[in-house]
């Protein structure tokens, strides 16, 4: 068995990691921390976990408890992950960080976008970006994995095939992305309250959302990114617009996208417009693309579950690759419907 630690297991991504670990044939959760919930049974906070983890108690962090584990997932704030990861490298098999602490390869971007200096150039250089569809070869044997941002996963899967093929211009790309409330985390926020979020859709992070440089890094193009909060628990729907750089049609774009993701276990390319409910609870990404002759615009759309493929599911997929396990282990390709 693969012995697993989850640091920050009491948050939404931590609870999702526990859910997915429960159905993983090779994972055994040996250690789960939740400093604000230390001493609390996981099943008390999340009754959905009771059947598999009836006696699991969230612990306070102790470095000695993590030593020797095969994989440790970090579901912590960015700076907390950056402080902790160097202590764990070498004492655990693989670290999979769900924060943004190691996502951006250019350290100079961190002060402006995240408000802190990144002082670990060697760790930043070693970290492998955890999107197997683009970085599978580099993930094999990785000691430190940076799990992508949820919006970034959807936008990158939607745009990368066309940028890499030189089919769209690399400036003026627009990404409008809708996310569910769980993307804001378990912490109490006014925008997450039922009476604030219900019957409301709101754009946020205008012009300065932190996922912008990450999308640009992975797509390889300049992007105007605007996220929107919608009254649903889970899901991301990213609608991306780009101008063509070559002759094309909807049929040729669908063929390019299908070829780019041929054989990918969690990517579905079809003519059907993706929906968030179709991917709910799964590690799947549903994609389609159109070319509008009238406005000469490429429209590429991706739907994912923000907590699964967009966070914890993507983290486990990347960990499977890094550890040499079957990539699909513990992960569903079929969503829950209705």
Write out the two tokens for 101.
Answer: 């602490």
Distance between the two ends of the chain, CA-based, in angstroms?
A: 34
Tokens 């390709």 identify what position? Answer: 333
- Exactly one of 21, 150, 240, 302 is catalytic; which is it? 150
Distance CA 75, CA 177 (A): 23
CB atoms within 10 A of CB 116: 12
Residue 287: strand pairing partners: 269, 302
195 an active-site residue? Answer: no
**In what side-by-side order are the strands of the sheet with 202-203?**
202-203, 223-229, 173-179, 236-242, 297-304, 285-292, 267-269
Q: Annotated active-site positions, please?
A: 150
């Amino acid at each position: 068995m693969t012995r697993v630690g989850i640091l920050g297991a009491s948050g939404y991504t931590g609870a999702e990691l526990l859910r997915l670990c429960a159905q993983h044939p090779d994972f055994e959760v040996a250690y789960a921390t939740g400093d604000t919930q230390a001493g609390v049974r996981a099943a008390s906070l999340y009754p959905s976990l009771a059947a598999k983890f009836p006696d699991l108690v969230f612990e306070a962090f102790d470095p000695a408890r993590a030593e020797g584990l095969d994989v440790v997932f970090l579901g912590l704030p960015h700076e907390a992950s950056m402080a902790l990861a160097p202590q764990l490298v070498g004492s655990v098999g693989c670290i999979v960080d769900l924060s943004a602490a190691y996502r951006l390869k250019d350290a100079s971007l961190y002060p402006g976008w995240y408000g802190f200096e990144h002082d670990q150039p060697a760790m930043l250089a070693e970290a492998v970006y955890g999107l197997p569809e683009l970085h599978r070869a580099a993930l094999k044997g990785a000691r430190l994995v940076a799990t992508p941002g949820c919006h970034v996963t959807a936008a990158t899967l939607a745009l990368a095939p066309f940028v890499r093929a030189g089919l769209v211009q690399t400036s003026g790309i627009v990404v409008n992305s809708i996310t569910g409330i769980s993307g804001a985390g378990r912490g109490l926020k006014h925008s997450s309250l039922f009476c604030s979020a219900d019957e409301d859709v709101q754009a946020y992070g205008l012009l300065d959302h932190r996922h912008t440089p990450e999308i640009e890094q992975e797509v390889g193009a300049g992007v105007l990114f605007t996220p929107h909060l919608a009254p649903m628990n889970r899901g991301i729907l990213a609608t991306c617009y780009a101008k063509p750089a070559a002759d094309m049609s909807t049929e040729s774009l669908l063929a390019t996208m299908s070829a780019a993701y041929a054989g990918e276990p969690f990517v579905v390319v079809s003519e059907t417009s993706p929906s968030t409910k179709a991917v709910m609870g799964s590690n799947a990404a549903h994609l389609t693309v159109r070319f509008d002759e009238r406005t000469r615009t490429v429209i590429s759309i991706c739907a994912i579950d923000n907590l699964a493929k967009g966070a914890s599911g993507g983290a486990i997929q990347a960990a499977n690759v890094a550890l040499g396990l079957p990539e699909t282990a513990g992960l569903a390709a079929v969503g829950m419907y209705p």
